[in-house]
Amino acid sequence: MIDFKSYSTHRSAGGAHTLAGLYYTSPEVFERELERVFYKRWICAGRSSRIVNPGDYFVETIGRESLIVTRDSGGAARAFYNVCRHRGTRLCGDSSGQFAGRIQCPYHAWTFALDGRLIGAPNMSESAGFRPEDYPLHAAHVHEWNGFLFLNLDANPEPFEKAYDPLIRKIDLSRWQVSELQVVHSISYDIRANWKLAFQNYSECYHCPKLHSVLSKLTPYRDSWNYFDEGPILGGPMRLAAGPGGSMTMDGKACAQPLAGVAGEDLGLIYYFTVFPTLFLSLHPDYVLAHRVQAISADHTRIVCDWLFHPDQVSRPGFDPQPAIDFWNMTNREDWMVSELSQQGVSSRAYDTGPYSQLESLLAAFDRHYLRLMEGASGARAAGTLPA
Ligand code: FES
Ligand SMILES: [Fe+2]
């Protein structure tokens, strides 16, 4: 049995040192993360464009749960556990598709409306007391924000606006037209490393001179500052060495016109934000990069990276996002390579916590936020297996 309290307070006092190895390796810690983080917080499920029309759907996995995400006939995004209310059968086997106005179980053909109501249950009228209204699909919460879909499996989640209040209040994403952007390219990476190593890697540029030779030339690694340094939103801007007209691309030049609301100093800045626990948002003058983090197990993470451009740019003759795609695909792979090396190292019996540098203050903040969620008494006692 793991004593989380003593590990975290002893090993990570004040956030000055890295987390103990078990946080990256232990199945017991991962179970607790499912209960306290991934089944409780808002989880990014990608862009709203995944479900444009009523009946469009995709299946999203959160921890061990399978969710059907669809759009109902009124145009509202909906999410349901992929579980039939009759005998529990998984309703939907395909990863995406289009429902013909309803969701039907492949077993005994119970049929659900796109808003989750049970609208067909063959022969069940013969069962005394059976009332279809008692058996809607189990719903999850959905929130659409700037063209992103977020899901929450908690029965009474913290309201989205409250959960991400600092970002919503202080950063006007409409300057980057984020709600209008379209995915022009997407890559899914499977990484043999814990999801927190990916967050920690994204949250510092201490590693940039050694690891990212191209990136380091475009944005000098110390030329950055933090807008958010505590809580679920962390990050801030880095200055482009090239100034206005530059961007994060293979040749350092913007590959599209600036997004409509980007002006003044912002033309020479890249903003990097982490949205705990599943999204990295990188705002460039000419495009936006979104990394979506899926924790699969203690040592396996899937990251889907979307390159988002404005439709007006995409439709221009000669539009070519490839320099941005190549740049971030290369940089991503450098980051995942070193994250996998980190996973291997922190799994060693020789690993002990190490001191964070001044350039890693956001990692200490990430750890503090994470530990606050992991340490609270209620979840530990409710789980019944972990000490308070
Ligand atoms: S299990 Fe779905 S209809 Fe029977
Ligand atoms: Fe990096």
How far, in Å, is the centroid of ligand 2 from the Cα of 322? 20
How far, in Å, is the centroid of ligand 1 from the Cα of 137? 12
For ligand 1, atom 1: residue with the closest CA: 87
Cβ contacts of 156 within 8 Å, gap of 6 or more: none
Q: Residue 147 has which token pair?
A: 């063209």
Burial 252-282 (b: 16+ CB within 10 A, else e): bebbbebbeebeeebbbbbbbbbbbbbbbbb
How far, in Å, is the centroid of ligand 1 from the Cα of 294? 29
* Pocket perturbation via mutation, ligand 1, pick of 85, 90, 91, 107 by most ligand atoms within 8 A of CB: 107
**Nearest ligand 1 atom to alpha carbon 91:** 2
Q: Residue 172 has which token pair?
A: 């006007």
306, 307, 312, 317: CA torsion to nearest 10? -130
Is it the case that residue 84 has pLDDT exceeding 50?
yes
**Per-residue model confidence as pLDDT tens digits over 253-267:** 999 999 999 999 999
Contact 332, 349 (CB under 8 A): no
Q: Which residues line ligand 1 (CB under 6 A)?
A: 84, 86-87, 89, 105, 107-108, 110
pLDDT bin (cut points 50, 70, 90) of residue 376 is confident
The neighbour count for residue 244, using CB atoms within 10 Å, is: 17
The pLDDT, as a whole number, for residue 385 is 35
pLDDT bin (cut points 50, 70, 90) of residue 213 is very high
How far, in Å, is the centroid of ligand 2 from the Cα of 296? 21
Mean pLDDT of 205-219: 97
Helix orientation angle between 195-202 and 361-375, rounded to the nearest 10 degrees: 150
Smallest-distance ligand from the CA of 91? 1
Q: What is the pTM of this model?
A: 0.93
**Per-residue model confidence as pLDDT tens digits over 154-187:** 999 999 999 999 999 999 999 999 999 999 999 9
For ligand 1, atom 3: residue with the closest CA: 108
The pLDDT, as a whole number, for residue 377 is 52
Encoded amino acid at 159, one letter: P
The pLDDT, as a whole number, for residue 5 is 55
Q: Residue 132 has which token pair?
A: 């279809």
